[in-house]
């Protein structure tokens, strides 16, 4: 395909040959990265904390995981609103169609998980009878209203979905990061630079 006459991708400059996202989109992206770096390890750590462990450690880990997760939900919603108001730059014209489709799939799946995961976690903790109050308050000091009465069966369903979603999210993140490294180190195009 001859790209010499193609419309330049928004944000293209010598440092960003394939265009770039705007400053607000970049801020949302890197804020999400930091929050995921907190939420995912804390979430996986929870499965190793037993009832015999110090409750300070147990509740502390829950508070960190749940607060980071709920903040991810808020940021994801803001990101989606911002994408409607300020659409991202078009894909670089040199990318093969299969790469564009794979990228679209992973991006859509990640957005879905950024919303589904916190909701499932929030529902699970409420159904288990541990709303985000007291030692597990949102951000450590904001008590959220109790959402539902304790319901063990629902709690297990929500918890199972949340656990499976955690592994799926980790897989999608690995694919996303791997693709960024592949584009930067092997293809040597400007895909990674679009978000820098």
* 50 within a domain of the structure (yes/no): yes
Number of domains in the chain: 1
Range of the domain at 122: 23-195
What is the arithmetic mean of pLDDT over 165-172? 95
* 103 within a domain of the structure (yes/no): yes
Query: Mind giving me the DSSP string for 89-142?
Result: PPPPTTS-HHHHHHHHHHHHHHHHHHHHHHHHHHHHHHHTT--S-GGG-BTTTB
pTM attached to this predicted model: 0.87
* 144 within a domain of the structure (yes/no): yes
* 8 within a domain of the structure (yes/no): no
* 13 within a domain of the structure (yes/no): no
Tell me, what's the pLDDT at 44?
87
Tens of pLDDT along 92-110?
888 899 999 999 999 999 9
Q: For 154-174, give one letter per residue: b (16+ CB within 10 A) or e.
A: bbeebbebbbebbebbeebbe
* 139 within a domain of the structure (yes/no): yes
Range with the poorest average pLDDT among 13-17, 147-151, 156-160: 13-17
* 180 within a domain of the structure (yes/no): yes
| DSSP bridge partners of 16 | 13
- CA 95 – CA 21 distance, rounded (Å): 17
| Average model confidence (pLDDT) across the chain | 88
Instruction: Specify the CATH number for the domain of residue 94.
Output: 1.20.950.20
What is the arithmetic mean of pLDDT over 18-34? 93
* 2 within a domain of the structure (yes/no): no
Tell me, what's the pLDDT at 190?
82
Whether the per-residue pLDDT at 64 is higher than 50: the answer is: yes
Tell me, what's the pLDDT at 3?
44
Whether the per-residue pLDDT at 45 is higher than 80: the answer is: yes
pLDDT band for position 5 (50/70/90)? Answer: very low
């Amino acid at each position: 395909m001859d790209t010499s006459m193609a419309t330049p991708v928004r944000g293209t400059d010598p440092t960003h040959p394939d265009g770039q996202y705007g400053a607000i989109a970049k801020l949302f992206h890197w804020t999400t990265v930091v929050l995921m770096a907190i939420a995912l390890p804390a979430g996986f750590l929870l499965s190793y904390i037993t009832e015999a462990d110090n409750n300070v450690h147990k509740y502390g880990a829950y508070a960190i995981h749940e607060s980071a997760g709920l903040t991810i939900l808020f940021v994801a919603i803001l990101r989606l609103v911002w994408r409607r108001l300020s659409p991202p730059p078009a894909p670089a014209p040199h990318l093969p169609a299969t790469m564009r489709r794979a990228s679209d799939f992973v991006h859509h799946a990640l957005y879905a998980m950024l919303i589904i995961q916190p909701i499932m976690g929030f529902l699970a903790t409420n159904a288990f009878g541990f709303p985000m109050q007291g030692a597990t308050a949102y951000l450590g000091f904001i008590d959220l209203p109790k959402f539902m009465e304790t319901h063990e069966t629902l709690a297990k369903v929500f918890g199972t979905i949340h656990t499976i979603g955690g592994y799926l999210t980790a897989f999608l993140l690995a694919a996303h990061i791997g693709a960024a490294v592949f584009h930067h180190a092997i293809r040597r195009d400007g895909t990674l630079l679009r978000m820098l």
